[in-house]
């Protein structure tokens, strides 16, 4: 396999075509139908195949539906667990490191960012056993340090997947940025390499920053920090909302 020499985490070569305006109506309908099937206890695999085949979706479009759909129970829990910044004040903040970082790298690189049925921002990039820093890594980390510090948590626990290569280097880079003292009265930061950040965050006593649906189901307090940062700080981000519009708003958190 050739080494990964990408300098950006931008869009897939076909994304502009696959996610063009003319396809959004079908993609939103497919997300709604996929979610309907999940609510009726269809397996994820079966539901995605049914919907994908019905609308003749390409693999990347199906991946978007998978990322954005959720059953009614998960949607309700997501709404109940979503925290506002004041709730983070003096509370521990647990961050799913790669989940947040890669979403922001993608946004800064012009990659596709999706708003799912639950109103949370997700990317279509992924890390498969190896992580490589890109030109947008430092800017993304700086946005994270600034935004997390502004929430005034008692501490920040930033979890990186230990099995992913270069996690140790990334931990060192975050520590170097924190030492530059450009982030005001920063809270205590603990940057940890964990065998499974998902497992740690499911039982975390504080506010959890993640958009991983498996983790979200288990957390009492969550925060879509990626979405907040993108809305406020990444003006050029390519964001597509795959929620199904309904009278008075959107299916999900009610945001128009």
Q: How far apart are CA 162 and CA 194, in angstroms?
A: 5
pTM: predicted TM-score of the whole model, two decimal places:
0.91
Mean per-residue pLDDT, 212-232:
97
For residue range 150-159, what is the model confidence (pLDDT) as tens digits?
A: 999 999 999 9
Q: How far apart are CA 71 and CA 254, in angstroms?
A: 17
Looking at residue 187, its pLDDT comes to: 83
For residue range 78-87, what is the model confidence (pLDDT) as tens digits?
A: 999 999 999 9
Q: 209 in helix, strand or coil? A: strand
Among 56-65, 112-121, 173-182, 199-208, which is the least confidently predicted range?
173-182
For residue range 11-38, what is the model confidence (pLDDT) as tens digits?
A: 889 999 999 999 999 999 999 999 999 9
Q: How far apart are CA 119 and CA 217, in angstroms?
A: 15
Check whether 9 has a pLDDT greater than 90.
no
Cβ atoms of 200 and 159 closer than 8 Å: yes
For Cα atoms 129, 141, 186, give the angle at the middle one, nearest 5 degrees: 130
Looking at residue 186, its pLDDT comes to: 67
Looking at residue 4, its pLDDT comes to: 44
| Residue 104, token pair as written in the block | 């922001």
Q: How confident is the model at residue 230 (pLDDT cuts 50, 70, 90)?
A: very high
| Mean pLDDT value across the chain | 91
Check whether 218 has a pLDDT greater than 70.
yes
For residue range 63-73, what is the model confidence (pLDDT) as tens digits?
A: 999 999 999 99
| Residue 185, token pair as written in the block | 């009265």
Residue 222 buriedness (CB in 10 A; 0-12 / 13-18 / 19+)? buried
For Cα atoms 165, 153, 187, give the angle at the middle one, nearest 5 degrees: 70
Q: How far apart are CA 117 and CA 74, in angstroms?
A: 10
CA dihedral over 148, 153, 155, 158, signed as positive or negative: negative
């Amino acid at each position: 396999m050739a080494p990964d020499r990408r300098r950006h985490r931008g869009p897939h070569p076909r994304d502009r075509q696959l996610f063009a305006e003319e396809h959004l109506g079908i993609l939103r309908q497919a997300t709604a139908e996929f979610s309907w099937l999940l609510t009726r206890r269809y397996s994820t695999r079966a539901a995605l195949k049914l919907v994908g085949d019905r609308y003749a979706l390409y693999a990347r479009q199906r991946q978007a539906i998978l990322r954005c759909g959720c059953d009614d129970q998960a949607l309700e829990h997501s709404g109940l667990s979503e925290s506002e910044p004041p709730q983070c004040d003096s509370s521990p903040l647990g961050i799913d490191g790669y989940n947040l970082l890669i979403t922001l790298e993608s946004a800064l690189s012009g990659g596709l960012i999706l708003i799912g049925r639950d109103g949370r921002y997700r990317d279509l990039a992924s890390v498969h056993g190896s992580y490589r820093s890109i030109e947008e890594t430092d800017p993304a980390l700086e946005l994270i340090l600034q935004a997390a510090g502004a929430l005034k948590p008692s501490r920040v626990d930033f979890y990186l997947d230990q099995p992913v290569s270069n996690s140790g280097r990334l931990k060192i880079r975050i520590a170097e940025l924190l030492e530059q003292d450009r982030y005001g009265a920063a809270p205590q930061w603990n940057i940890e390499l964990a065998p499974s950040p998902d497992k740690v965050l499911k039982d975390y006593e504080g506010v959890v920053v993640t958009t991983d649906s498996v983790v979200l189901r288990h957390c009492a307090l969550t925060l879509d920090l990626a979405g907040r940062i993108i809305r406020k700080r990444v003006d050029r981000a390519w964001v597509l909302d795959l929620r199904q519009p309904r009278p008075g708003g959107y299916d999900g958190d009610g945001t128009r």
